[in-house]
A and B are shown apart, each in its own frame.
Chain A
Amino acid sequence: MPEVKLSTISKHYDEVIAVDSVNLTVHNGEYVALLGPSGCGKTTTLRIIAGLTLPTEGDVFIDGKHVTYAPPGNRDIGFVFQHFEIFPFWDVWDNVGYGPKLRGLDEIEIEKRVWEALKTTKLTDKADNLPDELNTPELQRVGVARALATGARLMLFDEALGALDPKVKAIFQHELRKIVKKNKLTAIHVTHDQQEAMAIADRIIVMRKGRILQIGKPTELYYKPNDIFIANFLGESNFIEGVVSKVTETGSEIRLRDGSILRTDEKAIKGGRRVIISIRHELLKLQPFERFSALNFIPGKVIGYRFLGDRHSYEVKLDAGEIVGVKEFARAPPPFKLEDPVTVRMDTSLAVLFSYPSNGLAPHLSLE
């Protein structure tokens, strides 16, 4: 059964290091997302697994076999491309049948496989159509059917849903996961869309600048990011600067620049340190300005507002200096106007503390 293992894989293009000693194990039957901004090396990593790109260093094992230099055809993989690459001169049936044919199967077996793949992807009525007669979602299905028909147990998806409209995409995420799980396949899914990664994968591997930053379940990455970049890349986070004023048995207190205090459950290493508190938009609440100050109640002023349908999204300038985003469920028209003084109540139970980076915050928030 397919288990993918990468051991210190690197890929250099002249001066550029696309992938930088990546170690990774994908277990049998797992659906894994490779997530990262464009240019982070995720597609290169996938192509190295597929054998379309040869690594400069390191080894690839599929199913325990060393396949680093084996051609793609010997790896027993199914690959779905971003732009699908459905061969324009064949109809759907021939496109899907190409893989089984290359495996030297007899006619009956080929037919069985193609039919099965078309049924799984709901394409049976399109079998005789040429690619230019299909729309994008249909082409996407053909891409998946073609990969399935090879009989491969390992599916590699390279931004395979990237070309679809948002609504269609959401449906396909669900379907793709269902197909993989139902057929007990292993899947590695490259995407730059954090929502897609969270919706589709058992585990997410976050890459940046050729390196793996963190591997974990979606909830782990969301609530316990080990890097400011991940806190910023997944979901929407605010980053507030402060200094650790007190470390207790149950947590720590952080003094912001205007003197107000945030208490978190997370223990800082030691007092006096400059830190960044990362706290998600949806964990902040606005209430009318109150003169008295208390723990986790930070004063500020509304400076921006957008209506998102199900949410109100505010921009608030804290007296401490930071501008934070606040998201609240929209049950009624927005209770605050621009320029309203407010108090921001921060639910810090899920906030994360980072020590202040030596090279400043900006490089860690840059999305590349």
Chain B
Amino acid sequence: MGAEGVTLAFFLVVILGPTIFVFSAVFLSWNEVVATVFNDPIAGDIRWQIMRIALIRSFEIAGIVTVINVIIGLPMAILIARYDFKGKEILDTLVDLPMAVPTAALGFSIFLFWGSRSGISVLFGLESGLVSRGPLLIILVHTAFTYPYIVRSLKAVILGIDKTYEDAAKTLGASGFTTWRTISMPLMKEGLIAGAILSFTRSLGETGATLIVAGVYDTAPILIVSWRKMLLIPATAFLSMILVTIAVVMLVLVRFMARKVGFPIEKVWPRPEQFLSGIWQRRFRNSVTIAIFLVIILLPSLFTFQYVALWWNGSPATGRFESGVFYQVFRAPDLKWAWLLISLVTSLQIATLATLINLGFGLPMAFILVRRKWGKINGILDAMIDIPLAVPSSAIGFSAFLFWRGIINPGFWLILMVHIIFTYPYFIRPVIAVIEGIDPGYEEVARTLGASDLTTFRTVSLRLTGRGILAGAIMVFTRSLGETGATIVVMGLSRTVPVYIVDLVESLALPAAAFASIILICISLALLLILRYISRSAEEWK
């Protein structure tokens, strides 16, 4: 029980406890909450009004983003999973790109593309940005960074579909389109729902990119950050609690509902669907899919590079050297390069430590979840793992801040504790998937050959999970590297790179922000390529 006890204790005390601690904090100081949120002597219930508007806006944005993503992501997933063409590997990697890039850097890049004078406006000869900061720009940014989540999960289920079901439908007389609608879609229902939830929750909880592009509009996570900065602790706690509650309720509902959702598969329209299955119609669909991906997702995400190149030696408009990236970062008296370096070191330290700690405590947890048969407890634990995934990270950060108050002060170590929490599911999920895929026969063979349980675990099980562990570890590293919201809430005087980028954008030091962004993008890009290399060789290895 020793090792298992420690593993479970870690989960309860370090991961779950801090995440939901906010409930007790709210109930313990309920009077204060009422006083600041509903009954402020000066502001009245204005904070409640602000909060309500921000919550509704957050949900609207997440909903719209998810719908858009399903519409533009499904054809892309089909394209990657089912077609063979030149450059498919590259397209596949590029689709994943926005997931790896820290959202603050991504948001800034997209802001430059849509919202600044140097972006797409150049094409139309406009003096200002095409899309100003606000809900529309938030939707564009959120669409970009949640797109890979949808495409990835859909791609995985499409690859997992037993193609002979489709063959069967075809021999019964179904056209390509009818087969997709009536046979493949129902088979991929759960993947579709899982991808949609992931996209929804990621959009709902995003802070870094949103801070950059929101302008005067607040979303719920941004409100947490700004109220926390104003030290409105009870109000922030109340808002965090609402977000945690919604996240948990949503998780439960979706788990429950996924089985009940039906697709319109009762009727078939042989003629029009036959028309839609034509080769030209398919080519048209694929071209549009790629075009949308390029214009909405890829170009905006990588636009910083163009910006930095253009602004390197000075402003392209005035030619002033002092406005250029090089001067701003390396020559200006406020030593931005030094701050950037310090925040980069902090970011890397935290990401490394979070990865190692999750490796140490998450790995046994994954094995416990798959291999231990505790009946109902397994299901409950399994669902609780996902809570940090569904709760907006700034709410997690704030809840953990309350949990550790008086023990760990805001700063480096509290950032680390928070990063461990929200990256935990990112490590455990892929590892669980790999463990579930292992044929327990191998372990039984090792035992019959005389290996003890520990030896079996070390020599056989670990070897078989190796690549899943590596993939999970890299996910943790990139997520930690890219986090903004949770960090801001607990950072004290420390700075990580994404937060530093937000600071720079807020102080209108755009060239420096762009430079910091491409540093972060390059690191994430390298990690993404390693991740892809691992998962590819894992497939070959199977």
| Contacting residues, chain B, for A281 (C-beta < 8 A) | none
Closest chain B residue to A86, Cβ basis: B168
B173 within 8 A of A: yes
| Contacting residues, chain A, for B176 (C-beta < 8 A) | 71
Per-residue CB proximity of B151-178 to A under 8 Å, as 1/0? Answer: 0000000000010110111111111101
| Contacting residues, chain B, for A150 (C-beta < 8 A) | 172-173
Nearest-neighbour CB distance to chain A for B165, whole angstroms, equals: 5
Nearest-neighbour CB distance to chain B for A142, whole angstroms, equals: 11
Closest chain A residue to B189, Cβ basis: A89
Per-residue CB proximity of B436-462 to A under 8 Å, as 1/0? Answer: 000000000000000000000000000
Nearest-neighbour CB distance to chain A for B285, whole angstroms, equals: 18
A72 to B173, CA, bound (A): 6
| Contacting residues, chain B, for A81 (C-beta < 8 A) | 164, 167-168
Within 8 A of B (CB), among A60-92: 71-73, 77-79, 81, 83, 85, 87-89
- Most chain A CB neighbours (cut-off 10 Å) among B167, B174, B176: B167
| Contacting residues, chain B, for A73 (C-beta < 8 A) | 170-175
A99 within 8 A of B: yes
CB of A99 within 8 A of CB of B162, answer no
| Contacting residues, chain A, for B215 (C-beta < 8 A) | none
A166 within 8 A of B: no
CB of A50 within 8 A of CB of B172, answer no
| Contacting residues, chain A, for B186 (C-beta < 8 A) | 87, 89
A309 within 8 A of B: no
- Most chain A CB neighbours (cut-off 10 Å) among B168, B172, B187: B172
A101 within 8 A of B: yes
A52 within 8 A of B: yes
| Contacting residues, chain B, for A89 (C-beta < 8 A) | 186-187, 265
By the criterion of a CB under 8 Å from any partner CB, how many residues of chain B are at the interface?
Answer: 22
CB of B178 within 8 A of CB of A102, answer yes
Nearest-neighbour CB distance to chain A for B538, whole angstroms, equals: 24
| Contacting residues, chain B, for A156 (C-beta < 8 A) | 171
A83 to B173, CA, bound (A): 19
| Contacting residues, chain B, for A147 (C-beta < 8 A) | 171-172
Q: Which of A79, A101, A104 contacts B168 (CB 8 A)?
A: A79
A72 to B164, CA, bound (A): 13
B242 within 8 A of A: no
| Contacting residues, chain A, for B175 (C-beta < 8 A) | 71, 73
CB of B167 within 8 A of CB of A71, answer no
CB of B165 within 8 A of CB of A104, answer no
A146 to B170, CA, bound (A): 12
Nearest-neighbour CB distance to chain A for B294, whole angstroms, equals: 32
A51 to B183, CA, bound (A): 19
A197 to B167, CA, bound (A): 24
A51 to B374, CA, bound (A): 49
Within 8 A of B (CB), among A296-324: none
A103 within 8 A of B: yes
B68 within 8 A of A: no
Q: Which of A77, A88, A101 contacts B171 (CB 8 A)?
A: A77
CB of B172 within 8 A of CB of A99, answer yes
A356 within 8 A of B: no
CB of A83 within 8 A of CB of B171, answer no
Closest chain A residue to B274, Cβ basis: A73
Closest chain B residue to A84, Cβ basis: B168
| Contacting residues, chain B, for A71 (C-beta < 8 A) | 170, 175-176
CB of B167 within 8 A of CB of A103, answer no
Closest chain A residue to B178, Cβ basis: A102
CB of A102 within 8 A of CB of B173, answer yes
CB of A102 within 8 A of CB of B171, answer no
Task: Give B residues with C-beta under 8 Å from A.
Answer: 162, 164-165, 167-176, 178, 182-183, 186-187, 265, 268, 270-271
Q: Which 8 pairs of residues, A with B, have the shortest CB-CB distance?
A: A79-B171, A73-B173, A99-B172, A102-B173, A85-B168, A72-B170, A89-B186, A72-B171
